[in-house]
Structure 1
């Protein structure tokens, strides 16, 4: 009788990062929904929160199937990701939707790139938990409407978005140290893909998203 195959440590580390990100996103969106100016928008953010906790459950279940406790897989990322959210807590509704728009966009671009290095069923699982386009469209519409009503909002939200990205990059360094090279290893599995090139593409995509809603980078 052969011994059970050890789980792919790089895969487990990535899924642990995704799982904790989804769990924190649920917390964030549920709290931010209270900042909404009306019930329609409060419900929209609450729906986003519900989707995040559903995604968390799918990832956590997959980690368990791989023979690892979800808590153990997530543990290396708790400090860095919690620090990011603690340092970027929105003060009002527009800051909340900008954080969702900017943060979710960068996260989705990164996961989409990483998913290409995974085998099935994990490739499709990671792609499945990417945020639905209607959520990005909702956040973008809120930002555009606010800028149209008051052009001064663009400067404030542009500064807020730059702060979000700066904090994200700062904490990304801590995540990279925590994951024991797992993400780098996964990226390296894709022929011709290097970490600096990947981050250049992520930055370019972020700049395009900013411009699309009337914010500057």
Structure 2
């Protein structure tokens, strides 16, 4: 594989084959995550209580799918096949969604907000160790534009039925546990992603203390999202 800039020069980072493989892996897992989010939101739309809610979720689903093209274009620029890049992550992501299938409309909303938010936070943390062009692409693909809708619907539901708050809080904690397990499984199975966090000749890396701080930040952001929904973390 070869990664070329618009001027035809190979950036220093991409002269490292391990870094190149890691970037392809990262773009692959994010791409398949977006496709899975599209499928899940489209399915959740069937549970929507109103037509307005159905359209809102369908719009969210289309936005997720729309992010995939730019990611795939970047993978091709790097000399790889985007579908081959996604393939290694299909089983782990599908398993996560199988283990966290929502039982109703509200659980689906919490999953879209909390579960996807946690994954996006993790990828943003990794993006800090990428070359600028790839980092900007990854960050752009993780933009969340539906938080106000979800927060409003969940808070209104809890106000109408306060008992639902406890159930949804437990659901949010389960989502975090499953998401962290999935992230660890993916990293363990893909040596290139693990090596990415170790740094390179032109990039800083993470030591054990830095990794611990990263997971602390992920936990704190999860708690903030739960609080935004009106739930205990």
Q: TM-score, with normalisation over the residues of structure 2?
A: 0.85
Q: Where does residue 226 of structure 2 map in the other structure?
A: 210
- What is the Cα deviation at residue 178 of structure 1? 2.0
RMSD: 1.9
TM-score, structure 1 as length reference: 0.91
Distance in 2 (CA, whole Å) between partners of 1:171 and 1:126 is: 19
Spell out the pairing of 1:23-38 with structure 2 (5 A cutoff).
23-38=35-50
2:131 to 119, 123, 130: 119
Task: Select the residue among 212, 220, 230 that pairs with 1:196.
Answer: 212
Mapping of 1:48-197 within 5 angstroms?
48-132=60-144, 134-183=145-194, 185-186=196-197, 188=199, 189-190=203-204, 194-197=210-213
Q: Secondary structure at the match of 1:174?
A: helix
Structure 2 residue runs without a partner (length 5+): 5-9
The CA deviation at 1:87 is: 1.1
CA drift of 1:56 comes to 1.3
C-alpha distance in 2 between matches for 1:146 and 1:199 = 31
Task: Name which of structure 1's ranges 83-92 and 186-195 shifts more when overlaid on structure 2.
Answer: 186-195
Within 1, Cα distance between the matches of 2:219 and 2:194? 18
User: SS state of the match for residue 26, structure 1?
Assistant: helix
Q: Partners of 2:61 and 2:216 in 1: how far apart?
A: 30
Q: Deviations over 1:49-78 (max 9, x none)?
A: 101111112111211111111121112211
Query: How far, CA to CA, are the matches of 2:42 and 2:96 in structure 1?
Result: 17
Q: Structure 1: give runs of 5+ residues left out of the alignment.
A: none
Judge conservation of contact 1:104–1:131 (CA < 8 Å) in 2: no
CA contact (8 A) 2:188 2:194 kept: no
When the two structures are aligned, how many residues end up with a matched partner?
213
